[in-house]
Amino acid sequence: MALVPYDDRDGWIWFDGKLVPWRDAKLHVLTHAIHYASAVFEGERAYGGKVFKLREHSQRLIDSARILGFDIPYTVEQIDAATMETVAANGAPDCYVRPIAWRGSEMMGVSAQQSKIHLAIATWAWGNYFADKEKGIRLTWAKYARPAPNTAPTASKAAGLYMICTISKHEAEAQGYADALMLDWRGQIAEATGANVFMAIDGVLHTPKPDCFLDGITRRSVIALAKNRQIQVVERAIWPDELARAQEVFLTGTAAEVTPVAEIGEHKFTPGAITAALMDDFGKATRGEIDVKL
Give pLDDT tens digits for 216-259: 999 999 999 999 999 999 999 999 999 999 999 999 999 999 99
Tell me, what's the pLDDT at 129? 79
Q: What's the whole-number mean pLDDT along residues 154-171?
A: 98
CA 262 to CA 251: how far, in whole Å?
A: 11
Q: Residue 51: which of 24, 77, 88, 84 has the closest Cα?
A: 84
CA 289 to CA 137: how far, in whole Å?
A: 27
Distance of CA 104 to the CA centre of its chain: 24
Tell me, what's the pLDDT at 134? 76
Sign, Cα dihedral of 197, 202, 204, 208 = negative
Catalytic annotation, pick one of 53, 133, 157, 169: 157
Q: What's the whole-number mean pLDDT along residues 147-159?
A: 97
Global model pTM greater than 0.75: yes
pLDDT digits (tens, 9 = 90+) for 38-90: 999 999 999 999 999 999 999 999 999 999 999 999 999 999 999 999 999 99
Decide if 53 is catalytic: no
CA 113 to CA 198: how far, in whole Å?
A: 40
> 10 Å Cβ neighbour count for 84?
18
Task: Specify whether the backbone of 235 is left (phi greater than 0), alpha (psi in -120 to 50) or beta.
Answer: beta
CATH architecture label of 133-286 = Alpha-Beta Barrel (3.20)
Please tell me whether residue 42 adopts helix, strand or coil conformation: coil
Share of the chain above pLDDT 70, in %: 99
Instruction: Check: CB of residue 207 under 8 Å from CB of residue 198.
Output: yes
Indicate if the pLDDT at residue 112 is higher than 90: yes
CATH architecture label of 12-124 = 2-Layer Sandwich (3.30)
Domain extent listing, the chain: 12-124, 133-286
- In 221-248, which positions are buried (b, 16+ CB within 10 angstroms) versus exposed (e)? bbbbbbeeeebeeeeeebeeebbeebbb
